[in-house]
């Protein structure tokens, strides 16, 4: 690729980033702002309201299952788009972004460590924010109990991890560095702020917790050049939240809930 063509390609990256994000997590960020605004203007304390993840879509079990599976598949389409765009420019996303199975021990070990290091403080932050009135009550699963509920929640957790880590860390950081106009600290801020913004529907606690997570994950990626440990960590966090919510006794859930 000639220098002139490289410069022309790089000049198109801001528009490309905007399109990819507005088809995915950038769109989610806008809806999150709308959702938070609606909660704050509802005339009730934020902590007395709920934010439901993985809601049911139908009272008919197999229609709900169909909708859930299709939703998971379609949510991964922007990942395929980003992958295609990177390959079009001569990159090998699997190897260049560390999204492969070449280092299973490294990926699993660091993924589990990151999940533990972020998950426990994150739970404490969410609990504190709820009782300080800064967050809504998070309901990790709104699905009814069927034989397929837990498998679907696991798939949803993995889909969330792949979508967010590939786009917010691997793709976004790569493109921003290729543009060459932003210093590394600002790139980290952009990645972390985007991660926090599409969690605003949960309240300010969810925003802050995910910004911190975003900074840690961006730093880890810049040091290791591997997204796979982040996918492992994110999957473990969401599987624990989604499936754990289904399995926890009602007495525990009641204790965790907000009581004015």
How do residues 168-193 score in pLDDT, each as one tens digit? 999 999 999 999 889 999 999 999 99
Confidence at residue 138, expressed as pLDDT on a 0 to 100 scale: 87
Per the rule left: phi > 0, alpha: psi between -120 and 50, beta: everything else, 248 is beta
How do residues 199-214 score in pLDDT, each as one tens digit? 999 999 999 999 999 9
How do residues 20-36 score in pLDDT, each as one tens digit? 999 999 999 999 999 99
CA distance 178 to 158: 28
CA distance 99 to 225: 9
pLDDT surpasses 70 at 7? no
b or e along 48-62 (b: 16 or more beta carbons within 10 Å of the residue's beta carbon)?
ebebebbebbeeeee
Confidence at residue 128, expressed as pLDDT on a 0 to 100 scale: 84
CA-to-CA dists, residue 115 to 5, 10, 60, 204, 228, angstroms? 42, 35, 35, 21, 13
Confidence at residue 248, expressed as pLDDT on a 0 to 100 scale: 58
Beta bridge partners of 14: none
CA distance 206 to 197: 9
Mean pLDDT for the chain overall = 91
CA distance 80 to 100: 15
How do residues 44-87 score in pLDDT, each as one tens digit? 999 999 999 999 999 999 999 999 999 999 999 999 999 999 99
pLDDT surpasses 90 at 91? yes
Confidence at residue 5, expressed as pLDDT on a 0 to 100 scale: 54
Confidence at residue 251, expressed as pLDDT on a 0 to 100 scale: 54
pLDDT surpasses 70 at 249? no
Of residues 223, 221, 240, the one with CA closest to residue 158? 240
* pTM of structure: 0.92
Given pLDDT bands bounded at 50, 70 and 90, which one contains residue 252? Answer: very low
User: Residue range 3-14: average pLDDT?
Assistant: 70
Of residues 201, 193, 160, 192, the one with CA closest to residue 32? 201
Confidence at residue 258, expressed as pLDDT on a 0 to 100 scale: 47
pLDDT surpasses 90 at 109? yes
pLDDT surpasses 50 at 259? no
Confidence at residue 153, expressed as pLDDT on a 0 to 100 scale: 96
Confidence at residue 71, expressed as pLDDT on a 0 to 100 scale: 98
């Amino acid at each position: 690729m000639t220098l002139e063509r490289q410069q022309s390609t790089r000049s198109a990256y801001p528009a490309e980033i905007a399109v990819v994000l507005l088809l995915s997590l950038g769109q989610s960020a806008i809806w999150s702002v709308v959702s938070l605004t609606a909660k704050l203007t509802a005339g009730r304390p934020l902590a007395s309201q709920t934010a439901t993840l993985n809601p049911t879509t139908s009272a008919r079990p197999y229609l709900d299952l169909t909708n859930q599976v299709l939703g998971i598949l379609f949510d991964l389409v922007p990942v395929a788009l980003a992958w295609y765009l990177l390959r079009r420019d001569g990159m090998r996303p699997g190897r260049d972004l560390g999204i492969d199975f070449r280092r299973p021990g490294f990926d699993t070990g660091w993924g589990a460590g990151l999940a533990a290091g972020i998950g426990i403080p994150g739970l404490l932050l969410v609990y504190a924010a709820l009782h300080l009135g800064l967050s809504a009550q998070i309901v990790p699963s709104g699905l009814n109990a069927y034989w397929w509920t837990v498998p679907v929640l696991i798939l949803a957790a993995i889909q969330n991890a792949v979508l967010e880590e590939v786009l917010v860390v691997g793709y976004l950081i790569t493109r921003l560095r290729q543009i060459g106009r932003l210093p590394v600290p600002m790139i980290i801020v952009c990645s972390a702020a985007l991660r926090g913004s599409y969690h605003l529907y949960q309240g300010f606690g969810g925003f802050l917790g995910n910004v911190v997570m975003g900074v840690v994950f961006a730093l880890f990626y810049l040091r290791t050049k591997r997204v796979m440990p982040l996918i492992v960590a994110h999957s473990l966090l969401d599987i624990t939240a989604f499936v754990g919510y289904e399995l926890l006794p009602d007495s525990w859930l009641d204790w965790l809930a907000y009581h004015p």
